[in-house]
Amino acid sequence: MRLPLQVAVGLSISAGLWLGALTSGPAVATEAEAGANDNRQSAIAESATALTIDIVDATWRPEGNDGPSLAVWAFAVAGEAPTIPGPLLRRRLGAAPVRITLVNKVKDTIDVHGLSAADAPMVLAPGASRTATLTTQRAGNHLYWGARHGQPFDSREWEEGQLTGAVVIETPQERLRADRVMVVTESFRFDSVAGREEIASQLAVNGRWWPHTERLEYAANDSVHWRFMNGATISHPMHLHGFYFRVSRLGTLVSDTAIAAARQPLVVTEFIPPGNTMSLNFKPHEPGNWVFHCHFAMHVNAVSSMDSTYRDVERGKKYTADGRHMGGLVMGFHVRSSAPSPAVPVARSMHLVIDRKGTPFVHGGPGFSFALADSGVRDLPAAKRRVPGPVLLLKRGERVAITLHNRLPRPTSVHWHGLEIESFPDGVPHVSGRDGRLLHPVPARDSLTVEFTPPRSGTFMYHSHFSEHEQMNGGLYGAIIVVDDPSKFRPSHDHVLVVGGGGVPDVPLGIESPWGLVNGRINPPPIEMRVGETHRLRLASIHPDWKILATLGSETRAWTWRPVAKDGAALPLALQTPALATWAAGPGQTADFEVTPTTPGDYRLLVRGDGSGWAVSVPVTVSPRR
């Protein structure tokens, strides 16, 4: 997905890097195999005062030794093999400065940012070298990056896309704990295939593409700390399965800011624009296998791969139950525990049917649907096979068994998004589970029963986690509302709005869907309110292609509302303050707002895809006081 760059381009000034000497000489042509940099080790020794980094031609195999070999440019410590991402420049706060010398050994003039004075990249002609001084006055996470001369960050394409590395300036407190640094990189171009221009992209995290990314290992209730840096030219809504996390730092290409503990909400998805960074932490309490991945569907399928066989599978939507169905920007981790999962009696059973949508989409042709049914119902009427799926109203702390009846002619799987549940029912085929018991896709014309206990009241989602771009655009998504007492849930004042796909588009690989829906409609029915009465809006963003923007109010003025929850968890009190009624979210995010209208009239909730061309207006009618 190509989005406008949302951060400034230039110096990572908070690292305190200053321009030094310039020398030049003949270009030296080299080509070497680029290794994957797991970012465990700083390229700067504790006592070092200088480091030389070359810019070189390299070949790169992000999809394993048997995967495609790609020609790119890469950074390399002088005398060593190149790495993707570039060498980690990690230093403690207040440490002695280090002179960083860059040597350009490729045929093009390269601008290097993040290692020079503000708005002044280091310009290296072929064969030239320049030196900067890395100082450590400010803590944080930053990217240094290279591009063709005059090229901004968000215009980097193929060879230069891998010229990206991390700078970490750590505080004394941070040095006492273990953490991991994850850097996303991307090479990008357009290819003509069968007369159509499609996107050819190679995404990677720490130089590898799932399932070849490193698998991390933790003990239950470990304190986990990650630094995530988006070195790609596209945004990534990063979703953690199974657990909430808190973001303690956020950064751009030019700054990095610590977030006060009182202003750190619990989240399961955080939207990271190009060039931006975050520090996050969580405690994985549930054993088993889990994933942390981008929630844009095309960033976890063959669009982000250069494997021609896999790309053919995605073009034809020919995924099989035993074949590869997920790839790209995914990190997996295992949480170990010797304690067995406790046996919990089931208090409620449900039957969720996965079938063809009862009627075609307005624009997108045939689709898919979820529908609730009695166990004996075999053929559901078209009126029940709608998009989105029915709202699943669950009771906090009550164990539920849901039988998935797949009536499609293809496999599928269901992820219960945001719920803190056991690994097996989490829904990632061939990954979710523990102790050798793994979840597999639900085969065509087959069924599977999963059990879980939702521990928290809030707004959540469920959606397909198999061939996501097709099945989620096609309608396999819905909302989950968990409450303490279902009998007190009032739909008249508690409004659920699900923003999702509106059909499977016939577009080249890498091109986003041109359609979006709110509650399955391009013209939803009105929300009825009354002056002086408080209403709760539960917004769920699950469109697999688009960041969405929502505004509540008149055509010329936004209302004020009070944010109360994010991703199903109550917000800290410091964040529950009245604000303009606008919301920006990537797929995989939910938010709850309370609003008390003051003036009768006709208003709207306008929802649109950011840069997409589609918009849906939900009428809001406010009646006078009783």
398 neighbors 347 (Cβ within 8 angstroms)? yes
Q: Mean pLDDT across the chain, nearest whole number?
A: 92
Query: Which part of the chain has CATH 2.60.40.420?
Result: 13-171, 189-336, 348-487, 498-623
pLDDT tens for residues 139-186? 999 999 999 999 999 999 999 999 999 999 999 888 878 999 999 999
CATH class of 498-623: mainly beta
Whole-angstrom CA distances from 325 to 141, 317, 319, 597, 603 are 33, 10, 6, 46, 43
pLDDT tens for 367-393 read 999 999 987 677 899 999 999 999 999
- Cα separation, 181 vs 202, whole angstroms: 20
Domain 189-336 belongs to what topology?
Immunoglobulin-like (2.60.40)
> Tokens 């169905």 correspond to what residue?
325
The yes-or-no verdict on residue 274 having pLDDT over 90 is: yes
Q: Cβ contacts of residue 392 below 8 Å, gap of 6+?
A: 350, 462, 478, 479, 480, 481
Among 239-243, 341-345, 520-524, 572-576, whose mean pLDDT is lowest? 341-345
Say which residue, 10 or 238, is predicted with more confidence: 238
Q: What is the pLDDT of residue 376?
A: 66
Query: 3-class SS at 261?
Result: helix
pLDDT value of residue 378: 76
| pLDDT score of 587 more than 60 | yes
Q: Note the pLDDT of residue 11.
A: 27
Whole-number pLDDT of residue 129: 97
pLDDT (0 to 100) of residue 115 = 85
Instruction: Decide if pLDDT at 303 tops 60.
Output: yes
pLDDT of res. 322: 84
**Per-residue pLDDT at 168:** 96
Given a cut of 60, whether residue 275 has pLDDT beyond it is yes
- Of the chain, the end-to-end C-alpha distance in Å amounts to 48
Residue 29: predicted pLDDT: 44
What local confidence, expressed as pLDDT, does residue 317 receive?
87
89 has a pLDDT exceeding 80: yes
The whole-angstrom separation of Cα 125 and Cα 265 is 46
Q: What is the pLDDT of residue 10?
A: 30
φ, ψ of residue 145 in degrees (nearest 5): -155, 155
Per the model's pLDDT, the better-predicted residue between 283 and 18 turns out to be 283
Residue 394: what pLDDT? 98
The torsion angles phi and psi of 259, rounded to 5 degrees, stand at -105, 125
pLDDT of amino acid 12: 30
Alpha-carbon dihedral angle through residues 168, 173, 176, 179, given to the nearest 10 degrees = -40
Q: Please, are residues 92 and 135 in contact by the beta-carbon 8 Å criterion?
A: no
Q: Mean pLDDT, to the nearest integer, of 180-195?
A: 94
Query: Which is more confident, 23 or 33?
Result: 33
Query: What is the β-pairing status of strands 477-483 and 458-464?
Result: antiparallel
pLDDT attached to residue 15: 32
In the chain, how long is the greatest CA-to-CA distance? Answer: 83
Instruction: Say how far apart CA 5 and CA 610 lie, in whole Å.
Output: 12
Phi and psi torsions of 311, nearest 5°: -65, -35
Segment 93-103 shows an average pLDDT of 94
Least confident of 68-82, 126-140, 252-266, 448-462: 126-140
pLDDT given for residue 324 in this prediction = 79
pLDDT at 6 exceeding the cut of 70: no
Residue type, 131: T
Domain 13-171 of CATH type 2.60.40.10: no
Is 70 exceeded by the pLDDT of residue 9? no
Task: Report which DSSP code applies to 486.
Answer: G
**Is domain 348-487 given the CATH code 3.30.750.24 in the classification?**
no
pLDDT at 27: 39
Lowest mean pLDDT across 108-112, 218-222, 253-257: 253-257
Mean pLDDT of 312-339: 91
Residue 119: the pLDDT is: 64
Q: How confident is the model at residue 490 (pLDDT cuts 50, 70, 90)?
A: very high
Q: In sequence order, what DSSP letters do the residues of 406-464 get, joined into one string?
A: E-SSS-B-EEEET----SGGG--TTTSEETTEE---B-TTEEEEEEE---S-EEEEEEE
Assign 3 a pLDDT band (cuts: 50, 70, 90): very low
Determine the 3-state secondary structure of 470 from DSSP.
helix
pLDDT in tens, 408-459: 999 999 999 999 999 999 999 999 999 999 999 999 999 999 999 999 999 9
Cβ atoms of residues 583 and 545 within 8 Å = no
Beta sheet of 348-356, edge-to-edge order:
368-372, 348-356, 400-406, 446-452
Per-residue confidence band for 72, with pLDDT thresholds at 50, 70 and 90: very high
- pLDDT tier for residue 117 given thresholds of 50, 70 and 90: low
Best CA proximity match to 229, nearest among 176, 300, 279: 279
pLDDT at 176: 79
Q: Which pLDDT score is estimated for 134?
A: 86
Q: Does residue 71 contact residue 34 with C-beta atoms inside 8 Å? A: no
pLDDT of residue 470: 95
| Amino acid 118: pLDDT | 60
